[in-house]
Structure 1
Amino acid sequence: MKQLKFLFTVTLSALLAIFLTVACTPSEEAPTADTGATEDAPAETLIMATSADYPPYEYIPSGSTEIVGFDIDIANYITEQLGYGLEIENIDFNGLLPALQSERVDFVMAGMTPTEERKENVDFTRVYYDAQNTIVAAAGSGLTTAESLNGRRVGAQLGSIQEGDAREIEGAEVVALNRIGEMIQELKVGRVDALIMEDTVAAGYVEANPDLEFNTIESEGASGSAIAFPQGSPLLEDFDGVLEQMMSDGTMEELVTKWFGEDSPAQAEAAEAEE
């Protein structure tokens, strides 16, 4: 009887060992490589730097801590299409390119124009949205042309293309400021006479401040917004491909309507903040 029990135990152990061996052996149809990405866990998280004071491109709505805007929607769409996660770092505009060059971040989106000077240090995608410079001033002030700013104090965002354009205006005294909201306040209290600002951004602030007006001016330099990368980044080609797809399939047009239309969230936010 003991011998029978022994034989039974040995047989059971052998069968169990065979079962475990088969269960742990990968099937021939299983993939040989794993990217690490799943539906809930992307393979890699990219860090995007922005300056969240530039509605409707990127800003933080009142009562919130979340950065939203046109650029944010584009960044989320592209990274999702490519299988990446996204982390956003909010820093002053003039610190964006240094952060990129030191490779603290993977890319920059901040309504940034790909000027020739910037191209010497970073790489850009195609332009995904074009805009024009404007003069923002008190309504009825007569400050509607570059010539009218001769002898005036003119505010512009530090490190922006608008700062460079303002410095080209003959006789203008340029005051460089960090944040767009700060620029508007300096204008309203009279510490600057006018501002140089992109038309899409100016529209929201003028809508919320009826005592201000804006007038488009010509700019001879580069215009439009593009995504910036460290030189030689392998991400640039992939991002460019998704941007091209967004422009051809109507996705970009939908986002432009959402963020630059009359009923855009940024317009509503600006109006609410002024009440």
Structure 2
Amino acid sequence: MKEDITMAKLLKTTFTLFLALAFVFSFTSCKKEKAESSSATSSGNVSEAWIWEGPDYETLKENPGKAEITISNPTGVLAKVIDSGELIIGTSPDYPAAEFVDAATGEVMGCEILLAQYIANSLGVELKIETMDFSAVLTALDTGKIDLAISGFGYKEDRAEQYELSHGYEAQSSVSHHTLVVRADEIDQYNALSDLSGKKIDAQASSLQQMYVEDQIPNADLQLITSLDQGVLDLLADKIDAIALDATTAKNYAEASNGQLVSLYTEKEIEFDLSMYSDYAGNVCAAKKGETQFMEVINEIIDQVLATENYYEEYNLYATYYYAACEAAGISPEEE
């Protein structure tokens, strides 16, 4: 009898894992299919509720633009970048539309990748992209493996103490919503963040979501992961109760889950309170501590990206990058 029960559990676990893997694969394939046909609005692969009519990703990749800057007497990492003719960035490409891997070509894409190319163009150097787990990106700065970390980072006080952080940049206010994804059949359990107290919650190590869970759901059983795909596998296999992530990514994972997962922000407007962090809106780049000249130049470049008003209709250049990257990834931005 015990052996029968054990075998039944094993079969159930194996089947659940198979379904989870199939979901993650279908989510990736869906992004691939939508990206391949994104220019054909009648194909049915791009959400009919949202269509980007601005410049597409390939057009922006060919000519992302550049800032007009003057560099005098470069030192440190800035001198190294200019002398070598190469800017090396580190990123974890599992966070569409900021950075992701095209399933068809293996190319690293995203709005932050376009920003990185803009920065490299402004410095007059080539761009080299090093991919790694999210938790390894900042470590790569410490060891000198990369020059600049661009991987969906937000401002954190302890992060600012250890690294030089850039000015913030964001495409729209909706990316400043952060929430959780839960199983659809458990949605009735949750009406506020406090209902997640004591629950097992996945968040990427060193991410903003880790900080939000620690600050606002202090009794949660926080599990740190290296990728959001791992969180999806954990959630579908009943290993955890929720995943913490931004609202746009939450919505897209939920839409790709065939009704198995839901976003608490979309369904019940449950989100983390970001008012205590309001002075630091948007994502930031990071450089090694002490590289102030390098970061001053990066900030000058970023300021010009954000100041490029009406690049396409009412959008500045970074917002244009963002929406084009959403289209390329086959996802729709979160609507207010």
Asked if residue 241 in structure 1 is aligned to residue 287 in structure 2, the reply is no
Q: How many residues get paired?
A: 226
Query: Which is richer in helix?
Result: 2
Q: Which structure 1 segments of 5+ residues have no match? A: 1-41, 270-275
Q: Which residue number corresponds to residue 203 of structure 1?
A: 251
Identity %: 25
For residues 100-121 of structure 1, the C-alpha deviation after alignment (integer angstroms, 9 at most, x for no partner) is: 1222210000010121101111
Normalised by the length of structure 2, the TM-score is 0.63
Residue 61 of structure 1 is aligned with which of 96, 99, 102? 102
Tell me which stretches of 4 or more aligned residues in structure 1 moved more than 6 Å. Answer: none
CA distance in 2, matches of 1:43, 1:99: 18
Q: Which residue number corresponds to residue 167 of structure 1?
A: 214
Q: Which amino acid aligns with 1:79?
A: A
For residues 44-86 of structure 1, the C-alpha deviation after alignment (integer angstroms, 9 at most, x for no partner) is: 1011001111111111122332111111011011211221111
Q: Give the RMSD, CA atoms, in angstroms.
A: 2.2
Q: Which residue number corresponds to residue 136 of structure 1?
A: 181
Asked if residue 230 in structure 1 is aligned to residue 291 in structure 2, the reply is no
Normalised by the length of structure 1, the TM-score is 0.76
Aligned with 1:204: secondary structure? Answer: helix
CA distance in 2, matches of 1:257, 1:268: 9
For residues 187-215 of structure 1, the C-alpha deviation after alignment (integer angstroms, 9 at most, x for no partner) is: 12211111110123222212212332211
Q: After TM superposition, give the deviation of residue 145 of structure 1 in Å.
A: 2.6
Q: Which residue number corresponds to residue 74 of structure 1?
A: 115
Q: Which residue number corresponds to residue 46 of structure 2?
A: none
1:179/1:63 CA distance change after superposition, 3 Å = same
Q: Which amino acid aligns with 1:153?
A: K
CA distance in 2, matches of 1:205, 1:267: 12
Q: After TM superposition, give the deviation of residue 144 of structure 1 in Å.
A: 4.8
1:223/1:241 CA distance change after superposition, 3 Å = closer
Q: After TM superposition, give the deviation of residue 97 of structure 1 in Å.
A: 1.3
CA distance in 1, matches of 2:251, 2:282: 16
CA distance in 1, matches of 2:191, 2:91: 30
Q: Is the 8 A contact 2:163 2:286 kept in 1?
A: yes
Q: Which has the higher contact order (CA 8 A, sep 6+)?
A: 2
Aligned with 1:105: secondary structure? Answer: coil
Q: Is the 8 A contact 1:43 1:83 kept in 2?
A: no
For residues 244-263 of structure 1, the C-alpha deviation after alignment (integer angstroms, 9 at most, x for no partner) is: 11111121121132234xxx
1:266/1:204 CA distance change after superposition, 3 Å = farther
Q: Which residue number corresponds to residue 157 of structure 1?
A: 204
Q: Is the 8 A contact 1:101 1:121 kept in 2?
A: no
